[in-house]
Structure 1
């Protein structure tokens, strides 16, 4: 589960660098020109916490889960702003980077949630000292 989360965090970083807004197949804004910078930072934080996570410490996974939820919210908000009701939005399409960030963020939420549930069930199954 740890490496699923790390892979999702890496994909968030790739999506943050990729195109976020296109018009007619031409990129007019990369993620680094928008909130992709935040998603790159969130991906680095979550991935770093999951790699570093040692022993039975749950707090790194809890922080990574919180970061992932924030990344989902940012991705959905940006997707909504690109696909809005304005005339410019009628011409613009979300780029693959924005879609990748959304999917990778959702995957990171799932990975960290499963990691926390698994660590909780493992702790419950361990005999008391």
Structure 2
């Protein structure tokens, strides 16, 4: 069952840069993990981290050397969303955009709520 999750070209390019700094042939390669956890000002929050492990419930997205892994539970809350990379005057960051599962989100772009 394929679940719709998109990685923008900007995010994919930045993922390759970030992961190239952490990937060594001896460790089999790192991936960028996206998870949804309870918390934040709206009830749920996006969690981003570089991860060397992969579980049975993880799905892989993206291109080689810039892969994203998302567990099945988090993926249910990210269906139809996109990972983007934004550069602004105050800094640059990965963000989740256009999440149809989120009914509201806060200004920090890391917290959301669902029905």
What interval of TM-score do these two structures reach, taking the shorter chain for normalisation? under 0.3
More strand by percentage:
2
Per chain length, whose mean CA-contact separation is higher, i.e. which structure has more relative contact order (CA < 8 Å, sep 6+)?
A: 1
Task: Compute the TM-score of the two structures, normalised by the length of structure 1.
Answer: 0.24
Q: Which has the larger radius of gyration?
A: 1
How does the TM-score come out when normalised to structure 2?
A: 0.26
